[in-house]
Amino acid sequence: MTDGPERPEGLSAAARAADRLRRLAALATDAADTLAADTGAYAERAIATLAAGGRLLFCGNGGSAATVEHMATEYVIRFRRERRPLPALALTAGSATLTAAANDYGYDQIFVRPIRAFGRPGDLLVVHSTSGRSPNCLAAVRVAHELGLHTVALTGANGGELAGLAELTIRVPSDETAAIQEIHLAIEHAVADHVDARFSAETS
């Protein structure tokens, strides 16, 4: 689904909140119907990567950068269950590294050198881009493939160039940036829950 026309002005704060939440709920239902298989495939790839001693690398811009930092923390610390810490790294987390890369190599290359530094064959790179066209995310996927990493992209409905570049692309059926990012976080939490269940079983 797409998000339809903008709602009329003049709504009360409560009415606007209710409208927003109902539209998000409808989008979540649509995503559940259309993206469950791809989300499950992403979860199984994450488990296979971590079980083999690999790590999860995340990248994105703006609000998506906040999402990937959130998710890396869920793996390193914990999500819902007690289990061993899992190796996950948000490539957006170091302001000195990001600004040095942008200054020396250009903003399109901010993730390339960190992937070269930390990525190993068999690791999983997870890229968030609502448009699917972010040049630095495209460059990240290209260098990941060069180095033998697996790749997953989370995008909006169009998918952009990432849809043909990443090994698996999860395309949220919306064109609204905020709604896409909200569903991306829900998808990531679903994946983290499945990963948690697998690795908490090691000590149960």
CATH 3.40.50.10490 is held by the domain 13-200: yes
| pLDDT in 10s for each residue of the chain, 204 residues | 444 545 556 789 999 999 999 999 999 999 999 999 999 999 999 999 999 999 999 999 999 999 999 999 999 999 999 999 999 999 999 999 999 999 999 999 999 999 999 999 999 999 999 999 999 999 999 999 999 999 999 999 999 999 999 999 999 999 999 999 999 999 999 999 999 999 998 865
Give 130's contacts (C-beta < 8 A, 6+ positions apart): 64, 155, 156, 177, 180, 181, 184
pLDDT of residue 21: 95
pLDDT of residue 10: 78
**Placement of tokens 């819902």 in the chain:** 80
pLDDT of residue 203: 63
pLDDT of residue 1: 44
Q: What pTM does this model have?
A: 0.92
pLDDT of residue 8: 58
